[in-house]
């Protein structure tokens, strides 16, 4: 070593050490950036024709070869640097124990600062940009060092077999829905708030049933053909819906669905009778209670339906659900033929809100920013009766999940009006 170094001036020897430190830093930064790179973004850039992204995607798909070539090169350089620095120090200051200790310490500090910590921080900060650039150098090195990697991998594979480590156990691991949901929630810098909200709602649809989004039977507008024709015509002229369920003598049995637009085209006839409207009825589409919303959306598409009647296991009508109800769970309130209820659903200046007992808990949570439980009863009346286990009197107060509610009006078997107090955040 001394005879070789004596032939070079000191500044050339130090330049060689600096060059080796740069090589070591490059391999450290390449390793960190390759492992920290967002593979979804790299894959997207590769599909758009980015050559660096294609190289990076190919390299991260061969993790064993990638890590092998980086670790081989990095450790070889990190081994040579202390030897060169020690040789230079011994040649310049003489052969002594203190010189040997100081030169070794200086080499260790240089490697830790300039070849390990700093490059890894930089690589983790700009992973995709650095990985795509480094791939142009790492890819040829894999070809050049293939024989050495093969020999080393033979020993490594044998050692792993002895230790009974199964390297293929996690190769087919996929991201779970909850993990993907977390990725979406954390992507505040890349996805607009509205788009992120839609994606999160899409995950939530898997746990929502039609019972959660339907209009309950008590709040459904039903066209009753047992009433006089004048009442039927008046209801058609004043209704806000495009389609109405129709019942006959038995008000609990729906005999068909009437398209209001078609019915309105008959109103010019002075001799209208019930049978004229019955000819326009279409067969009702029934949905079993408990059907998942995401599955029902697919059923609507397959059956080319927009309105369905939810029935329980005994065939009793529970409510009505439309394709718009499901879409609003996904993208929020967007259109309705009813007056704008969401505009009226807001806190009063005194921090209270008067709610109807039949109000949906999901609607109240969404429009008032509450967190009332929705895994049981679907309406505010049902939640309060379940909590109190009795039909309460007026002026009874209840506190649920930091929300104070005061019962204002009770009518026979149902709580009619509740005052909700805005919770303190």
Determine the 3-state secondary structure of 223 from DSSP: strand
Q: Please answer whether residues 12 and 65 qualify as being in contact, where contact means their C-beta atoms are separated by less than 8 angstroms.
A: no
Model confidence pLDDT, tens digit, residues 379-402:
888 888 888 888 877 778 888 878
Percent of the chain with pLDDT over 90: 7
Q: Please answer whether residues 153 and 66 qualify as being in contact, where contact means their C-beta atoms are separated by less than 8 angstroms.
A: no
Sequence ranges of the chain with CATH classification 3.10.580.10:
210-331
Distance CA 277, CA 61 (A): 65
CA angle 250, 256, 259 (to 5 degrees): 130
Query: What number of other Cβ atoms are within 10 A of residue 204's Cβ?
Result: 14
Q: Which helix (H) or strand (E) holds 215?
A: strand 215-216
Q: Please answer whether residues 211 and 378 qualify as being in contact, where contact means their C-beta atoms are separated by less than 8 angstroms.
A: yes
> 114 pLDDT exceeds 80?
yes
Tokens 């792993």, located at residue: 160
Compute CA distances 183 → 44, 170, 238, 377, whole Å.
16, 20, 48, 31
Largest CA distance in the chain: 121
Burial 233-267 (b: 16+ CB within 10 A, else e): bebbeebebebbbbbeeeeeebbbbbebeebeeee
- The number of residues making up the chain comes to 425
> 326 pLDDT exceeds 80?
yes
Distance CA 384, CA 277 (A): 41
Distance CA 407, CA 74 (A): 72
Token readout for 364 is 């109240």
Confidence band, pLDDT 50/70/90 cuts, at residue 345? low
Fold of 210-331: CBS-domain (3.10.580)
Q: Please answer whether residues 158 and 81 qualify as being in contact, where contact means their C-beta atoms are separated by less than 8 angstroms.
A: no
Determine the 3-state secondary structure of 114 from DSSP: helix
**What is the structure's pLDDT at 339?**
43
Q: Please answer whether residues 31 and 124 qualify as being in contact, where contact means their C-beta atoms are separated by less than 8 angstroms.
A: no
**What is the structure's pLDDT at 285?**
92
Residue 54 class from Cβ within 10 Å (0-12 exposed, 13-18 middle, 19+ buried)? middle
Token readout for 168 is 């293929």
Model confidence pLDDT, tens digit, residues 222-250:
999 888 888 888 888 888 888 899 998 88
**What is the structure's pLDDT at 341?**
46
**What is the structure's pLDDT at 49?**
84
Determine the 3-state secondary structure of 227 from DSSP: coil
> 126 pLDDT exceeds 50?
yes
Sequence ranges of the chain with CATH classification 3.30.465.10:
341-421
**What is the structure's pLDDT at 342?**
46
**What is the structure's pLDDT at 190?**
64
DSSP one-letter string for 21-38: HHHHHHHHHHHHHHHHS-
Model confidence pLDDT, tens digit, residues 9-29:
667 777 888 888 888 888 888
> HSE (CB half, 13 Å, CA atoms) of 17?
24
> Is pLDDT larger for residue 345 or for residue 162?
162
pLDDT averaged over every residue in the chain: 81
Token readout for 71 is 């670790």
Model confidence pLDDT, tens digit, residues 56-76:
888 888 777 888 888 888 888
**What is the structure's pLDDT at 77?**
83
What pTM value is reported for the model? Answer: 0.54
Confidence band, pLDDT 50/70/90 cuts, at residue 140? confident
Q: Please answer whether residues 261 and 284 qualify as being in contact, where contact means their C-beta atoms are separated by less than 8 angstroms.
A: no
| CATH number for the domain running over 341-421 | 3.30.465.10
Secondary structure letter of residue 337 according to DSSP: S
**What is the structure's pLDDT at 233?**
87
Q: Which is nearest to 131 in space by CA: 41, 36, 61?
A: 36
Q: Lowest-pLDDT range, 84-88, 144-148, 169-173, 375-379? A: 169-173
Model confidence pLDDT, tens digit, residues 264-314:
888 766 678 888 888 889 999 999 998 988 889 889 988 888 899 999 888
pLDDT, mean of residues 133-159: 84
Return phi, psi of residue 227, to 5°: -85, 165
> Is pLDDT larger for residue 296 or for residue 174?
296
Compute CA distances 8 → 80, 88, 105, 159, whole Å.
17, 10, 24, 43
> Is pLDDT larger for residue 48 or for residue 201?
48
């Amino acid at each position: 070593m001394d005879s070789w170094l004596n032939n070079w001036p000191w500044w050339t020897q130090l330049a060689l050490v600096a060059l080796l430190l740069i090589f070591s830093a490059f391999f450290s930064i390449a390793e960190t950036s390759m492992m920290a790179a967002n593979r979804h973004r790299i894959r997207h850039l590769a599909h758009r024709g980015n050559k660096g992204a294609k190289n990076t995607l190919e390299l991260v798909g061969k993790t064993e070869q990638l890590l092998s070539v980086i670790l081989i090169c990095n450790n070889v350089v990190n081994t040579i640097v202390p030897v060169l620095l020690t040789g230079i120090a011994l040649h310049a200051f003489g052969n002594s124990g203190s010189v040997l200790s100081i030169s070794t310490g200086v080499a260790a500090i240089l490697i830790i600062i300039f070849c390990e910590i700093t490059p890894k921080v930089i690589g983790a900060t700009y992973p995709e940009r650095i990985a795509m650039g480094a791939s142009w150098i790492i890819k040829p090195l894999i070809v050049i060092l293939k024989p050495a990697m093969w020999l080393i991998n033979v020993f490594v594979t044998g050692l792993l077999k002895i230790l009974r480590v199964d390297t293929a156990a996690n190769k087919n691991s996929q991201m779970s829905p909850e993990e993907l949901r977390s990725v979406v929630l954390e992507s505040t810098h890349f996805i607009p708030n509205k788009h992120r909200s839609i994606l999160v709602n899409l995950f939530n649809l898997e746990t929502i049933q039609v019972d959660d989004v339907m209009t309950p039977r008590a709040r459904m507008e039903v066209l009753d053909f047992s009433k006089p024709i004048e009442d039927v015509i008046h209801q058609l002229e004043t209704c806000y819906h495009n389609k109405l369920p129709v019942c006959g003598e038995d008000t609990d049995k729906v005999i068909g669905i009437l398209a209001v637009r078609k019915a309105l085209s008959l109103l010019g006839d002075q001799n209208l009778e019930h049978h004229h409207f019955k000819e326009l009825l279409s067969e009702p589409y029934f949905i079993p209670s408990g059907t998942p919303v995401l599955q029902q959306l697919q059923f609507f598409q397959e059956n080319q339906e927009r309105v369905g009647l939810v029935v329980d296991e005994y065939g009793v009508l529970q409510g009505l659900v439309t394709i718009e109800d499901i879409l609003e769970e996904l993208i929020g309130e967007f259109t309705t033929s009813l007056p704008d209820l969401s505009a009226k659903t807001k806190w009063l200046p005194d921090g209270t809100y008067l709610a109807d007992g039949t109000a949906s808990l999901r609607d109240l949570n969404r429009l008032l920013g509450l967190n009332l439980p929705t895994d049981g009863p679907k309406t505010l009346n049902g939640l309060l009766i379940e909590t109190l286990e009795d039909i309460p009197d007026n002026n009874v107060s209840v506190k649920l999940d930091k929300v104070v509610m005061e019962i204002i009006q009770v009518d026979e078997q149902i709580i009619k009006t509740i005052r909700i107090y805005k919770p303190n955040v």
